[in-house]
Amino acid sequence: MTKNAIAAGILMPAALLFAAGPSGAPKEPLGLLPISWPKDNPYSAAKAELGKILYFDSRLSKDGTVSCATCHDPKFGFTDGQPVSSGIGGQKGGRSAPTVINRAWSLAQFWDGRAASLEAQAIGPMANPIEMGNTHEAIVTALRGIAGYKPLYAAAFGDGEITMDRTAKAIATFERTVLSGDSPYDRWKAGQANAMSPAAVRGYHVFQKAQCDACHEGHNFTSNMYSNLGVGINAEKPDLGRYDITKDPLDWGAFKTPTLRDVEHTAPYMHDGSLKTLEEVVDYYDKGGTPNKNLDPHIKPQHLRTDEKADLVAFLKALSGKGWQQIKAPAVFPQ
């Protein structure tokens, strides 16, 4: 457990990586901890605005058809609503697009944790032949050829030089502003007794009884750890998740635990998008996952009653908060 925590970056000394939240940064909604902004990429409104434009700009892809928002669309809770994502030329990836919501509180990114930061994650899909299919060099050249981008980079970084490092930092800055909090659960937790429905309150106690909080813990409802639930493990060539990165037998078939914030808006579920509804997810956990040689010991049959399952789903929906809904694609892009 400790080894994986270090690999995930969550036990790294924060003082070495982060600075205190700057003035002018977005205020975290009720229920969330303060964002720790990287020392080498502090917040500025100009940088976040540049990052937002880049995030939605499909000209970063090889054929001009795919942007970051293609797979992480606000309309679908910053996912794409599909079991697996599609890139240039309609190519299909192998995993479901995880949400960008509340990624500010996670160092390692992707289902397998292969990117150590949001900055590293931001540039990965750009050069992936199935996703955006471009090269970093070609992207920089293209951006330098769009006159309207130079003043935006100057406002964000002090001069108009356009580099991939700055591009990644801008996108990551924007992504750290995609937040969800002030949910019915948060208001209930803060003392508003009627903020959650009676069913959701009962579901909260089912959540604890079933030890869902062993992995979905803390203010963001994730341990940022990796677990083997057995999803897809019986396939002819199963996706081995974190193991393909670390080669550690303890990581065989393990995937990163996602946040449960706004989970009702990010269907379908699991790394392969194989479960369509929250009801299916609850049923899957209730049966104890899919047995295999590395099944997480927390995954055990729960034998929940039908009413308990319904209450648990009601609680999960009570984790839908505010913040990210206000984010819209730019009306125009730099020319």
Q: Classify residue 147 by its DSSP letter.
A: T
* pLDDT higher than threshold 50 for residue 15: no
> Is the four-CA dihedral 10, 24, 165, 128 of positive or negative sign?
positive
* pLDDT higher than threshold 90 for residue 6: no
DSSP letter for each residue of 32-50: -PPP-EETTS---HHHHHH
* pLDDT higher than threshold 60 for residue 10: no
Domains of the chain: 42-179 (1.10.760.10), 180-322 (1.10.760.10)
Per residue in 170-212, pLDDT tens? 999 999 999 999 999 999 999 999 999 999 999 999 999 999 9
Catalytic annotation present for 280: no
Least confident of 6-15, 31-40, 275-284, 323-332: 6-15
Give the Å distances, CA to CA, from 27 to 10, 197, 198, 280: 23, 27, 30, 35
Backbone angles phi, psi at 333, to 5 degrees: -120, 160
> Is the four-CA dihedral 237, 238, 239, 244 of positive or negative sign?
negative
In contact, 228 and 297? CB cutoff 8 Å: no
Spatial CA neighbour of 103 closest among 25, 12, 1, 32: 32
Across 218-227, b (16+ Cβ under 10 Å) vs e yields: ebbbbbbbbb
Q: Which of 119, 131, 175, 308 is catalytic?
A: 131
- Its pTM stands at 0.92
Q: Classify residue 28 by its DSSP letter.
A: P
* 255-256 vs 226-227, strand pairing mode: antiparallel
Cα–Cα distance for residue pair 46/154, rounded to 1 Å: 9
